[in-house]
Amino acid sequence: MGLWTNLQLDPNNHPMVVYYDATNTQAKFAFYDGTSWTSYVLDSKAGADIGRYAKMIIVNGNPVVAFLGMEKGMGGNLRSRIIVGRATANPPTSASSWTFEDAAVDETGPCMPAFCAAGQVCVKSTGACTATASGCTPSPCGTGTACVSVNGTPTCSTIIDSSTVTSYPDAYGDYISLASGPQGLGMAIYDRIHGNLVALTNAGGKWTATTLDGETGTMAPNNTGDDGIATSLVIAQNGDWHVTYVNGILEQLQYLIVPGGPPAKPFAPEVVDNGTNGGMPYPDGIHIIGDDASLKVDSGGTVTIVYQDSTAGTLRYASGVPSGATHKWTTRTVTQQNGFAGFFPRFVGTTPQVSNFYRKTDHAADEVTGDVAFVTP
């Protein structure tokens, strides 16, 4: 309960929260009226997983949310939906205060065992829910395999089951970042299926997808990129899109600007932090950089990013000062409490402070504690 929480304030400065109920795989909404909290199911569907990567902003005085929906799609593959909800009141006191639409739908994702019907298994090689068969040799098939028909022949095939560990859902719509600009709503998302950073724009009320980085040729079947993890989007008043994200192949933090916003072609990505110490590896090697990134842009065009060094467990701070058509980047580690920190950093309003989560392990007591720390970089 309560994963991917995102908070905004109503006109009375009371908090409103959109979040993912992991137990029931549904999107939920909660608000405080000054006396008590009320929560309700925002979006739910039988046989589906709805609500991951939830985000909320205020547009024209009312909340707007976006989150990922996953379910069984055509041909036994995974259907990914990026769902946008618009409230008709602030605060929206019930699910009837919302209207929903799909900003994007993808039918090409590899199957997930939770969405396969009874008598079906999720076959790794095809990525589709497939009916089990009989007549395999050996029988039964070994651990991690199941008997299915392959070209009419009973075959023990490797399957994805509930024991399979995945770092991110193989979906279209991980790491949703939602913003509003002169042309309307915009989103930057991670297309995990194809390894792309994708922009979704809503100019004129029609949603359009534009690939910003990742696969540079034909998307299928030669998907060679892996860009878009931990994406964060800011749309400036002049319509420029500022996006930061992780290159998953090089494990480095990157930034790009789209002048005027998509479908304009973005400038070439800039490397913010490549996981080295001034170009040299740290004593323990090159670090994995960029998780949970968040950025802001000031009126002079300086870009500031906070993010995690996942190897060292530290909060990192980057500043990019405009220099011609690119930026001059400086990065540093933010010193704070003795713990594994840097999780989910966020700028605190207009103050210089940054919030981030940390955890501390006491091996002698076999105890793990965690809390939110506020630091000034």
Q: Report d(CA 172, CA 128) in Å as an integer.
A: 16
What pLDDT digit, counting tens, does each position of 170-219 carry?
999 999 999 999 999 999 999 999 999 999 999 888 999 999 999 755 44
Q: What DSSP assignment string belongs to 213-224?
A: ES--S-SSS---
Domain 3-110+171-336+343-348 has CATH 2.120.10.10: yes
Rg (CA), the chain: 22
Q: Spell out the domain ranges in the chain.
A: 3-110+171-336+343-348, 113-160
Predicted local confidence at residue 164, as pLDDT? 84
State how far the Cα of 258 lies from the Cα of 266, in Å rounded to an integer.
4
pLDDT reported for residue 225: 81
Distance CA 256, CA 243 (A): 5
226-264 confidence digits (pLDDT tens): 999 999 999 999 999 999 999 999 999 999 999 999 999
State the Cα torsion 10-15-20-26 to the nearest 10°: -50
d(CA 366, CA 229): 32
pLDDT tens string for the chain (377 positions)?
A: 678 999 999 999 999 999 999 999 999 999 999 999 999 999 999 999 999 999 999 999 999 999 999 999 999 999 999 999 999 999 999 999 999 999 999 999 999 999 999 999 999 999 999 999 999 999 999 999 999 999 999 999 999 998 888 888 999 999 999 999 999 999 999 999 999 999 999 988 899 999 999 975 544 445 668 999 999 999 999 999 999 999 999 999 999 999 999 999 999 999 999 999 888 899 999 999 999 999 999 999 999 999 999 999 999 999 999 999 899 999 999 988 778 999 999 999 889 899 999 998 888 888 988 999 999 99
Angstrom distance (rounded) from CA 114 to CA 128? 12
Identify residue 267 by its one-letter amino acid code.
F
